[in-house]
Structures are given as structure tokens and as C-alpha cells.
Homo-oligomer: A and B are copies of this chain.
């Protein structure tokens, strides 16, 4: 949130603050929030425990910034996906994989916050304010599908946003599976989902019944 471009006066920071945040995020993803003690964070960051409190005031303050940091990449999701072009299957593949990648980073952070009701409510408020959540992906894909629908590339009798929510949800489930340490292969591969969905979206409908 700070202005990185402005020239700084005085002694440049030693990087302790960033090291602490990085250590906290690593610990959060690797060992879970209950093992994220200020002691461990300090040890991994290579600073003393008091530094943690100097920079972030208290444990909750550190967690708050770690959550925001962990959810950050979501902002760049739209550009990364490059959700445009006539090749629908390609768009679905690109966007789907991008969502999945992002969620595999973000879900551990989201679930970690649920360990404490207060933390969870605080994070939820932050997400509501910044309009974060699965609906973001749904909206991005929904707009693309609506555009294709206007161009007659998608059948007219479906709700683009509803279909988008199905696809984004599929990616979420896959990322969820991975986050919960369950085997992804117990679910059908994303390519199969894209296959079927693409056919069902075709304007002419499927082949005539046998």
C-alpha cells in the first residue's frame, strides 16, 4: 500500500519487515496457523521476537497483513487469464488453470482464518470491502460467455453467469481437494469438464438423438 516509487530519506530499511511477513506466510501454508507462533516466525525470519511486535504491533496485526498478502494475486487474475478470443476451449483452459493455481495459494490462507471466529469475521469484512471471492471469477467468465452469446457463438437459452459459476466452482473444488490433501485424480480431469461444457454450449445443440 506504500508508495514504492518515492525516494526515501534516511536509513533504508534492513528488510526485516518483509522477511517477517514472508516467514509468516510460509509457516501458514506449510504447518497451519496454530503453529504460527511469533517465536517461530522470528526464528525463520532470522530476527528477534521483539522485532515482530515492533513491526506489526501484535500477532493479529501480523496475521492481517499475511492474509492480505496471500490474497493479493487475485487482483491480477483477470489480466493473467487473458479472457478473450474466439477459441472458447482455449479460454476455458487458460482461465481454469489460472484460477486453480491462484486458489491453491489462497485457500490455505482462507481456511486458516477460520480457526478463530474473530479472525474469520475480520477477513470476511476485508473481502466484502474489496469485493473479493469466488464471484470475481464467475463475473469475469460470465462476461466473456455473455459476449460470445451476443455473437451467436453460444446457445441463447442459457444463463451465462450460471454456467460460469459451474465452471469456476469446478476449479475451486479441484483446488479444495488439493488443499485438503486429497487426491485430485478422484475427480474427473479438467479437460473432460471443458470438453463436455464446450459441446453443451454449442448453439446448434448436440447431435440428434439416436
The answer to whether B181 touches A193 (Cβ under 8 A) is: no
Q: Which residue of B lies closest to A198 (CB)?
A: B158
- The contact string, 1 if C-beta is below 8 Å from chain B, for chain A 169-193, is 1101100110111110011100011
Stretch of A7-15, A78-86, A160-168 with 4 or more beta carbons under 8 angstroms from chain B: A160-168
A63 to chain B, nearest CB (A): 11
Q: Which residue of B lies closest to A185 (CB)?
A: B135
Q: Which residue of B lies closest to A142 (CB)?
A: B188
Q: Does A124 contact B (CB under 8 A)?
A: yes
How distant is the Cα of A114 from the Cα of B29 in the complex, in angstroms? 9
The answer to whether B157 touches A207 (Cβ under 8 A) is: yes
Point out the residues of chain B lying under 8 angstroms from A35, CB to CB: 116-117
Q: List 23 A-B contacts (CB under 8 A).
A: A31-B117, A33-B115, A35-B116, A108-B114, A133-B180, A133-B182, A133-B186, A138-B188, A152-B209, A155-B209, A156-B207, A156-B209, A156-B210, A158-B199, A159-B196, A163-B200, A165-B173, A166-B166, A172-B173, A172-B176, A173-B173, A200-B201, A204-B208
